[in-house]
C-alpha cells in the first residue's frame, strides 16, 4: 500500500459564476521514503496539489488516500489531527514567531498534543540538535541567519515525528550556498530517517536533489520521472 495515493482528484474553485479547474483527474502514488520534487509554472496546480496532500484542503471529486485512509471522508478536526501527527510543513518564509525563541518555536506543534513542558523541551532540543542548531535554543529568529531560521522551521516540522515533510519553495529566500546546505539536510533526513519529502520548487537544481520529479501544467500531471542525485 502506497503512503500517498491520489485517484482522479479534481479541484474546482468557484468565484461567482466562474469555475476554475485547479486540478483535473490527477492520479499518482508516492511510497514511504521517497524524495519527490513537484514542479510547474504559476497556476499549474502544484500548490493546490500540495494543499490536498497536506490535508489543508479536500478534492472536489476523486480520492486522496493517506496511509490507506480516505482523507476526503474525514471531518475538519480529524484532518487537523492527521496533519499534526503525520505531516510537517516547511515554507519559503520560515513562518517563525519573531518574539519567540528557536526552542519555543519548535515546541509549538507539541502544544496541540498536550505534551508536558519537560517532554516538549527535551524533544525540541533533540530536533534542533538534529538540524545542527545545538546551542542556539534561546536565540530569536532575528538573531539567526536565513539558513538557520529555515533549520528551525525544519526542526519544528520534525518534532512530532512526522512521516512526511511537505516543503513549499523552502530555498526561495536563501542564497545558493545556504540553499545547498538546506537541501543536503533534507537529503540526510530522507536517507537516514526514511522521512518522505515532497518539495515544490521552480528551480531545476533544487529539484535535482530529489529522486523523482512530477511536473504540472494546467491542473494536470504532464510528466513523472525518476531522476535526481542518488
CATH of domain 32-58+76-226: 3.40.50.300
Q: What is the pTM of this model?
A: 0.91
Cell numbers for 138: 534561546
Band of residue 230 on the pLDDT scale cut at 50, 70, 90: very low
Q: What is the mean pLDDT of residues 158-179?
A: 92
Could you tell me what percent of the chain has a pLDDT over 90?
Answer: 81
What is the residue extent of each domain of the chain?
Answer: 32-58+76-226
The full length of the chain comes to: 230
Cell numbers for 143: 538573531
Say whether pLDDT at 228 is over 80.
Answer: no
Condensed to tens digits (0 to 9), the pLDDT of residues 173-212 reads: 899 999 999 999 999 999 999 999 999 998 999 999 999 9
Band of residue 85 on the pLDDT scale cut at 50, 70, 90: confident
Amino acid at each position: 500500500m502506497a503512503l500517498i495515493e491520489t485517484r482522479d482528484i479534481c479541484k474546482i474553485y468557484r468565484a461567482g459564476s466562474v469555475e476554475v479547474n485547479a486540478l483535473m483527474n490527477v492520479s499518482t502514488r508516492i511510497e514511504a521514503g521517497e524524495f519527490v520534487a513537484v514542479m510547474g509554472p504559476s497556476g499549474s496546480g502544484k500548490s493546490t496539489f500540495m494543499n490536498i496532500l497536506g490535508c489543508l484542503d479536500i478534492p472536489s471529486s476523486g480520492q486522496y488516500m493517506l496511509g490507506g485512509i480516505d482523507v476526503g471522508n474525514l471531518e475538519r478536526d480529524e484532518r487537523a489531527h492527521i496533519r499534526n501527527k503525520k505531516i510537517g510543513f516547511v515554507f519559503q518564509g520560515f513562518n517563525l514567531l519573531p518574539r519567540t525563541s528557536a526552542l519555543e518555536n519548535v515546541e509549538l506543534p507539541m502544544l496541540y498534543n498536550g505534551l508536558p513542558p519537560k517532554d516538549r523541551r527535551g524533544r525540541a532540543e533533540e530536533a534542533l540538535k538534529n538540524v545542527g542548531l545545538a546551542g542556539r535554543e534561546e536565540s530569536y529568529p532575528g538573531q539567526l541567519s536565513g539558513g538557520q531560521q529555515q533549520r528551525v522551521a525544519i526542526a519544528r516540522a520534525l518534532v512530532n515525528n512526522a512521516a512526511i515533510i511537505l516543503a513549499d519553495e523552502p530555498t526561495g529566500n536563501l542564497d545558493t550556498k545556504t540553499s545547498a546546505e538546506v537541501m543536503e539536510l533534507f537529503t540526510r533526513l530522507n536517507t537516514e530517517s526514511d522521512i518522505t519529502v515532497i518539495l515544490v520548487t521552480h528551480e531545476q537544481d533544487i529539484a535535482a536533489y530529489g529522486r523523482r520529479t512530477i511536473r504540472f501544467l494546467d491542473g494536470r500531471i504532464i510528466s513523472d520521472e525518476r531522476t535526481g542525485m542518488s
